Amino acid sequence: MKKVITYGTYDLLHYGHIRLLERAKALGDYLIVGVTADDFDKTRGKINVQQSLMERIEGVRATGIADEIIVEEYEGQKIDDIRRYGADIFTVGDDWVGKFDYLNEYCEVVYLSRTQGVSSSELRQKNRNLRLGLVGESDILRKVSNESKYVNGIQISGVYGEDKKTVKELLDDVSVYDEYDDLLNDSDAVYIITSPKHHYQDIKHALEKKKHVLCESPIALSRKECEELFALAKENGCVLMDAIKTAYSTAYHRMLLQVKTGKIGTPKLIEATCTSIREIDSTNPEKMERSWNSISAWGPTALLPVLQIFGTDYKDRRIVTWLDNEKYHYDAFTKIDFCYPDSVASIKVGQGVKSEGELIISGTKGYIYVPAPWWKTEYFEVRYERQEIFLSVGWRRNSL
């Protein structure tokens, strides 16, 4: 019996997928179809698959073409599967030509012609079209612009920043707007990374024009302003969201789940350190005006595990800060201890003082160690008494 194996995401299953499966089946007697797990798709850049793994499997099953359906979860699994299932042929569409030649060592590799004129990306795009405006001068805007090319349905409408020269240098392939209002008129949503001092005004203005807002944390400098902005967003039917990437990374999320399910017993101590070397010139008033001090640049991230694990009901708080520039409230380093009734947390943030960016969560049965830089780590370790290490691996996209 000749066994054939093929793989795919099969999102919003369409004619092109079905034709591929039919031809794959015709290459042999038994067809194994590997459907990609959500996490695996994220690691390979498919970040807006619409259907869940179960729905996609169901779609493939309903075609009645596959004899067996498996889940593809990791890089390199194809080799394991070919050996395990004794596949004679590996096949995939010719959009992948050459990419899987390395499998020739294990079985025959056949690239089938891809069906023209139909694709999941187009189907995904059909119901969604979002014009995203970029606001600010940070080089993170370039990353957002580049990343958005991988998200179906997003178009960058343009960029607005006070410092036009920097903006032009930063994003040479995006239209630069002279007025914030004009950018807002041409956008459905904006991503804002101006400076903590300006976020409140920039967000408020966008929300008043009924535009959705994704803003780099902190979105404002006081609780009152935050509450006002969220109320305004609600009133105008808009999304207002903190752009805090760590909160949405798979590894970080899984780490939190480990704590919540009691893997390290009761958590008692959290130590989160986030620092970087200062990049701005403290003698340049224009730059200082737009600067991100330690607590703005790193506070939201460092506070994330503390507030998510211990909550906001601390009894006492001690702040030690080194104000490097009083005029601009530039703290180059700040340490905050939060005392809870039976636990304690400590965050250390620096923008001008560098340290090891680790996260340690200590509990009654063991501890979790997330190596530097913990805010973008792909893995963490759960450690017990005899240093028996259980490695838990999570994944996130490479560049952002």
List residues binding ligand C2G (CB under 6 A): 7-10, 16-17, 20, 36, 72, 92-93, 95-96, 114-115, 118-120
Q: With contact defined as beta carbons under 8 Å apart, do 189 and 133 qualify?
A: yes
* Cβ contact 206:194 at 8 Å: no
Q: Pick between residue 81 and residue 88 the one whose CB is nearest to ligand C2G.
A: 81
Strands (E), 161-259: 176-177, 189-193, 212-216, 240-243
Q: Could you tell me the smallest distance in angstroms from the CB atom of residue 130 to ligand C2G?
A: 22
The structure tokens listed for 281 are 């010139």
317's enclosing H/E stretch is: strand 316-325
Q: Give least dist CB 34 to ligand C2G, A.
A: 7
Closer residue to ligand C2G (CB): 36 or 343: 36
60 vs 156, beta carbon nearer ligand C2G: 60
Least separation in angstroms between CB 220 and ligand C2G? 41
CB of residue 16 vs ligand C2G: minimum separation in angstroms? 3
CB of 272 to ligand C2G, least distance (A): 36
- Closest to ligand C2G by CB, 16 vs 265, is 16
- The least distance separating ligand C2G from the CB of residue 94, rounded to whole angstroms, comes to 7
Q: Whose Cβ is closer to ligand C2G: residue 9's or residue 43's?
A: 9
**Closest residue to ligand C2G in the complex (CB):** 93
Decide whether 9 or 145 has the Cβ nearer to ligand C2G. 9
365 in Cβ contact with 265 (< 8 Å): yes
Tokens of 360: 């340690």
Choose between 36 and 351: whose C-beta lies nearer to ligand C2G: 36
Closer to ligand C2G by Cβ: residue 22 or 208: 22
| CB of 395 vs ligand C2G, minimal distance in Å | 15
Q: How far is the CB of 170 from ligand C2G (least distance, A)?
A: 31
